[in-house]
């Protein structure tokens, strides 16, 4: 690591976060906290996650709660995700019902961007909806650096990630986060060497201040975490970032072809922020609703059909949504 990355890792990494819910509830004062769960066909896991979160939204003896709202932002589920989430006690919002002037797109980045207009929190906590054996302590751990310090704008979770591929007969205690170790961390070390100390740059569990989230564009799909991380560093420096140890994270792991598409989208988000291709605050043309970047790229994968290998061109969306703050400024 660079000397600056080593300094940051030692100062801004909480290996054993110990903030209590009661302590953080006092520290949040008048600020509101929203927990956002982006979801697409997660009927098997969404309700248990919400059940674990609900106690954080219950008032304490002083009539206060750490979490003010739990919102599921649905990305077009065709199973029972919406019904199960609502019955479990969350507020469910469909992507098409937020910022309806924009045609909905597929992908995680899209629903996270729309969530800014759907929730009221000054601090937002994002959690993936496919987590297994979820631990609600993720939330106070992620909020800790934001409520106890002024500098961080983005707090990432890091964890051990077991590999769980039951369909392929693979179960092992290590090996999850393959795209992280084979692509994301090497790329970040190349384009932003000071970010080499970030353990889980692609992790879906993180918290951020609304002011930061509204000031930056949102990359589509799986590129959203990479884009937010680089933009936080570029605008606020390393001390604008923090990371906390969340222990173990279990979720649904994906096959290699899916990981290939994911990797290409992540790479697009990183490369769009290299020198000469970044999108500073003034790069948005106020007459447009998009950040200036290609709408789509093509990625060729090969699949075996009988005895032959056949190329398959996979479209990869790369058009980014503009900073929400710019939309509000232009609507005045």
Residue 58, SS3 per DSSP:
coil
Sign, CA torsion 104/108/112/115? positive
Do 37 and 49 contact (CB within 8 A), yes or no? Answer: yes
pTM: 0.88
Q: How many CB atoms lie within 10 A of CB 156?
A: 28
The pLDDT of residue 164: 55
Q: How is residue 323 annotated by DSSP?
A: P
The pLDDT of residue 160: 86
The pLDDT of residue 150: 93
The pLDDT of residue 67: 98
For 24-68, write each residue's pLDDT tens digit.
999 999 999 999 999 999 999 999 999 999 999 999 877 899 999
- How far is Cα of residue 42 from the mean position of the Cα atoms in its chain? 16
- The secondary element (H helix, E strand) that includes residue 47 is helix 46-53
**What is the DSSP annotation of 182-229?**
IIIHHHHHHH-GGGGG-S-TT-S-EEEEHHHHTTS-B--GGGHHHHHH
Helices marked H in the chain: 3-12, 21-28, 46-53, 81-88, 108-118, 138-148, 178-179, 185-191, 210-213, 224-236, 256-271, 324-330
Domains and CATH numbers, the chain: 3-330 (3.90.550.10)
Q: Which residue has tokens 């509000």?
A: 328
Q: Is 26 exposed, middle or buried (0-12, 13-18, 19+ CB in 10 A)?
A: middle
The pLDDT of residue 279: 43
| Regions in the chain scoring below 70 on pLDDT | 161, 163-177, 251-255, 275-294, 330-332
Structure tokens at 253: 């792991």
């Amino acid at each position: 690591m660079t000397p600056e990355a080593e300094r940051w890792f030692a100062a801004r990494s909480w290996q054993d976060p110990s903030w209590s819910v009661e302590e953080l509830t006092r520290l949040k004062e008048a600020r509101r906290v929203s927990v956002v769960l982006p979801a697409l066909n997660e009927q098997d896991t969404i309700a248990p996650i919400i059940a674990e979160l609900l106690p954080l939204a219950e008032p304490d003896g002083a009539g206060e709660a750490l979490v003010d709202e739990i919102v599921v932002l649905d990305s077009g589920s065709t199973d029972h995700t919406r019904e199960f989430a609502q019955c479990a006690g969350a507020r469910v919002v469909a992507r098409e019902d937020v910022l309806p002037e924009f045609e909905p797109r597929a992908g995680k980045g899209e629903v996270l961007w729309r969530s800014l207009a759907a929730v009221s929190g000054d601090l937002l906590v994002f959690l993936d909806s496919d987590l297994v054996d979820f631990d609600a302590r993720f939330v106070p751990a992620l909020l800790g650096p934001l409520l106890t310090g002024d500098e961080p704008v983005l707090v990432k979770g890091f964890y051990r990630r077991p590999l769980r591929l039951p369909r392929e007969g693979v179960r092992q205690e290590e090996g999850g986060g393959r795209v992280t170790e084979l692509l994301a961390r090497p790329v970040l070390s190349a384009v932003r060497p000071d970010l080499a100390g970030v353990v889980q740059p692609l992790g879906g569990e993180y918290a951020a201040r609304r002011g930061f989230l509204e000031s930056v564009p949102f990359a589509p799909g799986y590129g959203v975490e990479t884009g937010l991380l680089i933009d936080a560093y570029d605008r606020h420096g390393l001390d604008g970032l923090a990371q906390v140890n969340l222990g173990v994270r279990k979720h649904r792991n994906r096959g290699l072809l899916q990981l290939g598409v994911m990797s290409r989208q992540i790479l697009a988000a990183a490369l769009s922020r290299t020198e000469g291709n970044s999108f500073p605050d003034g790069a948005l043309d106020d007459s447009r609703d998009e950040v200036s970047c290609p709408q789509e790229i093509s990625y060729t994968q090969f699949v075996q059909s009988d005895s032959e290998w056949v190329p398959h061109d996979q479209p990869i969306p790369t058009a980014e949504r503009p900073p929400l703050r710019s939309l509000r400024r232009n609507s005045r």
